[in-house]
Amino acid sequence: MRDVSVVDVARGEEDEEPRVDDLLLQAEEEVAEQAGVPAPTGPQIAAPRLAGEHDTVAILDFGSQYTQLIARRVRELGVYCELLPHDAPVSEVEKLRPSAYILSGGPASVYAEGAPQLPHYVITANRPILGICYGMQLLTHAHGGRVEPSDHHEYGPARIRRTSDNPLFAGLEGELAVWMSHADRVTELPAGFEVLASSSNAPVAAIGRGTTIGVQFHPEVMHTPQGKEMLSNFLFNVAGLRATWSASSFIEGAIEQIRAAVGEGRVLCGLSGGVDSSVAAALVHRAIGDRLVCLFVNNGLLRQGEAEEVVETFGRNMHMNLHAVDASDRFLSALEGVSDPEEKRKRIGNTFIRVFEREALELGHFEFLAQGTVYPDVIESATPERPSAARIKTHHNVGGLPADLRFKLVEPLRYLFKDEVRRVGLELGLPEEIVWRHPFPGPGLAVRVLGPITHERLETLRLADAIVRHEVHQGGLWRDIWQVFAVLLPVQSVGVMGDNRTYADVVAVRAVTSVDGMTADWAKLPYDMLGRISNRIVNEVPRVNRVVYDITSKPPATIEWE
């Protein structure tokens, strides 16, 4: 397992809108400059590792859209793994002490000029290897076999016949349904390899030599129904790894590491009430108790009951050292008369930084800042196809750092996927309402009250939003939905109530399903649920006479309206 990462951050010149991520980027560049190397594609990690505690798989990313899925499947099977760019320095890879390698798919052709090749250390390491799609073609090419363009691009479902009793297929019967997505194919086997399976379009659909396995299909996607069994067979039957990775094993190791990294120091945590910062705070609190101080800034743009819930959960129930500040008036006066969404964001960001700075200074000296950065944020900054995005995305909700303090970052969730973060949160005793919270934008309801923001309009939105959330919870759909919320539109419409004509506000309901927020589908909420939501809003929320449902996906729309 990796350590709790600790990154040195130094504040630079005051700029217009300092953000934690900019500061991190700057810190990375400084470290790189000092070392005389170009800015890295990954974060600078400066802390010991618990290498050897878990059998670890290094997944080398050759640019497939499915690489994160491979990692999630391997973790679900109880094996710790990390994703590394295919051109990661061997020293970085060796820090993991990998017991096995998985080579991802990728868009290139192995024989094309400049195509990513199999790193030499993988060939000489003499450890089990699973090459998936492009990964299998790399193995073939590197061991002297032949890969050629195929007449038929194979994309979509296929069936494979096994031609060997390889342990990769242990427990699986008959022909297997798999998902293919490739243009090239293996036409000549490298020496010593045998064909393990064939499909009609890919006579060489899987190959093997000892503990080196290649599959042309994608076992990691759900369209390969028995893919998880095949991955499990690779990990346990072929590579002989131990399944020791779990949320609770993570907690024990992380606590030790936080203690070791922080020593006798004090840690400040900007708590937003979202899942990631909440779990990060709970974990750091478990490790160092009252030397963690959580700073919660109520910006007056939160949903109904949220500020109270944060104080109740972290202050009263978990007995954290919580400093809650109500800065609602300050935020609302900064937003007075502003309609432009980007201007709203800018003013909220700036106000947040000023409030955070002032409050943090009053809380004394801190060496560390805890943040809820999660693994997908880190991966997004380090994939081979995005080398220019060499930056760490951090929680938007922590908008900046106090100007004259110098922090090291403690990021205990840096190597966890969201579902793992949730499991850790539950094990640490956080309430389900917090652990299962939907993502919520840093600027909060300000980007859901379209047009100018007033106390009254915020209150209208809060009431409508609470009804939407309540009904989706009651209907048992909460966890199937990525985000669901109400939006207050800047238009009025004509209605009739009793015998009177009304001219009042319109509320839009937005519900989407998504895996990462990058793309999203509008959720097909049942009509009776939509009916109840609409009925309750027009009856219970003053000044609203019409409810509409947003049926656009992303793209072309975005999830938020502003």
Based on the shown chain and the rule CB under 6 A, indicate whether residue 554 belongs to the binding site for ligand XMP.
Answer: yes
Question: What is each CA distance from 37 to 74, 241, 285, in whole angstroms?
Answer: 32, 35, 37
Q: Which of residues 385-414 bind ligand XMP (CB under 6 A)?
A: 396
51, HSE (Cβ side, Cα atoms, 13 Å): 14
Helix (H) or strand (E) run with residue 515 in it: none
Q: Output 104 or 277, the one with its CB closest to ligand XMP.
A: 277
| Per annotation, catalytic residue among 54, 218, 285, 395 | 218
| Interacting residue with ligand XMP among 72, 291, 345, 510 (CB under 6 A) | 345
> Taking the CB of residue 189, how many other CB atoms lie within 10 A of it?
18
Residue 235, SS3 per DSSP: helix
Find the shortest distance in angstroms from Cβ 560 to ligand XMP.
3
SS3 per residue for 149-171: EEEEEEEEEEEEEECCCCHHHCC
539, HSE (Cβ side, Cα atoms, 13 Å): 7
Task: Judge whether 173 counts as a catalytic residue.
Answer: no
* Candidates 86-94, 142-150, 184-192, 436-444; binding stretch for ligand XMP (CB under 6 A): 436-444
Based on the shown chain and the rule CB under 6 A, indicate whether residue 270 belongs to the binding site for ligand XMP.
Answer: no
| Per annotation, catalytic residue among 28, 82, 154, 220 | 220
Q: Output 128 or 441, the one with its CB closest to ligand XMP.
A: 441
Residue 304, SS3 per DSSP: coil
Q: Which of residues 507-526 bind ligand XMP (CB under 6 A)?
A: 517
For helices 455-474 and 527-540, what crossing angle results, to 10°?
A: 150
Cα separation, 19 vs 17, in Å, equals 6
* Candidates 87-95, 176-184, 257-265, 437-445; binding stretch for ligand XMP (CB under 6 A): 437-445
Q: Output 372 or 441, the one with its CB closest to ligand XMP.
A: 441
| Interacting residue with ligand XMP among 441, 467, 509, 523 (CB under 6 A) | 441
Read off the amino acid at residue 42: G
Q: Output 495 or 517, the one with its CB closest to ligand XMP.
A: 517
Q: What are phi and psi of 150, to 5 degrees?
A: -100, 145
* Candidates 2-10, 122-130, 163-171, 441-449; binding stretch for ligand XMP (CB under 6 A): 441-449
With CA atoms as reference, report the closest residue to 507 among 468, 553, 472.
468
Find the shortest distance in angstroms from Cβ 275 to ligand XMP.
12
| Interacting residue with ligand XMP among 166, 483, 534, 545 (CB under 6 A) | 483
Strand partners, 421: none
Q: Output 106 or 441, the one with its CB closest to ligand XMP.
A: 441
* Candidates 262-270, 379-387, 434-442, 538-546; binding stretch for ligand XMP (CB under 6 A): 434-442
Q: Output 44 or 483, the one with its CB closest to ligand XMP.
A: 483
* Candidates 180-188, 223-231, 330-338, 438-446; binding stretch for ligand XMP (CB under 6 A): 438-446
Find the shortest distance in angstroms from Cβ 96 to ligand XMP.
31
Strand partners, 67: none
Find the shortest distance in angstroms from Cβ 461 to ligand XMP.
15
Strand duo 212-215 + 129-132: pairing:
parallel
Q: Which residues contact 433 (CB under 8 A, 6 or more apart)?
A: 309
| CB-based burial, 71-83: b 16+ in 10 Å, e otherwise | bbbbbebbbbbbb
Q: Output 252 or 419, the one with its CB closest to ligand XMP.
A: 419
Find the shortest distance in angstroms from Cβ 268 to ligand XMP.
20
Residue 368, SS3 per DSSP: strand
| Interacting residue with ligand XMP among 315, 387, 439, 475 (CB under 6 A) | 439
DSSP string for 252-286 = HHHHHHHHHHHTT--EEEEE-SSHHHHHHHHHHHH
Find the shortest distance in angstroms from Cβ 167 to ligand XMP.
42
Question: How many residues contact ligand XMP, by CB under 6 A?
Answer: 12
With CA atoms as reference, report the closest residue to 219 among 390, 67, 110, 96.
67
| Interacting residue with ligand XMP among 128, 135, 402, 443 (CB under 6 A) | 443
Q: Which residues contact 402 (CB under 8 A, 6 or more apart)?
A: 356, 357, 360, 361
Based on the shown chain and the rule CB under 6 A, indicate whether residue 469 belongs to the binding site for ligand XMP.
Answer: no
Q: What burial class does residue 477 get, using C-beta atoms within 10 Å of its C-beta: 0-12 exposed, 13-18 middle, 19+ buried?
A: middle
Task: Judge whether 229 counts as a catalytic residue.
Answer: no
Q: Output 30 or 550, the one with its CB closest to ligand XMP.
A: 550
Query: Are the CB atoms for 494 and 502 separated by under 8 Å?
Result: yes
Based on the shown chain and the rule CB under 6 A, indicate whether residue 224 belongs to the binding site for ligand XMP.
Answer: no
* Candidates 133-141, 440-448, 527-535, 537-545; binding stretch for ligand XMP (CB under 6 A): 440-448
| Per annotation, catalytic residue among 81, 86, 133, 306 | 133
Q: Which of residues 315-334 bind ligand XMP (CB under 6 A)?
A: none
Question: What is each CA distance from 307 to 295, 301, 325, 439, in whole angstroms?
Answer: 12, 10, 10, 16
Q: Output 476 or 555, the one with its CB closest to ligand XMP.
A: 555
Q: Output 239 or 484, the one with its CB closest to ligand XMP.
A: 484
Based on the shown chain and the rule CB under 6 A, indicate whether residue 203 belongs to the binding site for ligand XMP.
Answer: no
Find the shortest distance in angstroms from Cβ 184 to ligand XMP.
35
Based on the shown chain and the rule CB under 6 A, indicate whether residue 559 belongs to the binding site for ligand XMP.
Answer: yes
Task: Judge whether 362 counts as a catalytic residue.
Answer: no
Cα separation, 411 vs 3, in Å, equals 9
Question: What is each CA distance from 502 to 284, 327, 489, 494, 536, in whole angstroms?
Answer: 53, 35, 16, 6, 17
Q: Output 203 or 439, the one with its CB closest to ligand XMP.
A: 439
> Taking the CB of residue 443, how many other CB atoms lie within 10 A of it?
25
Which residues are at the interface with ligand XMP (CB under 6 A)? 345, 396, 439, 441-443, 483, 517, 554, 558-560
* Residues annotated as catalytic (active site), given as ranges: 133, 218, 220
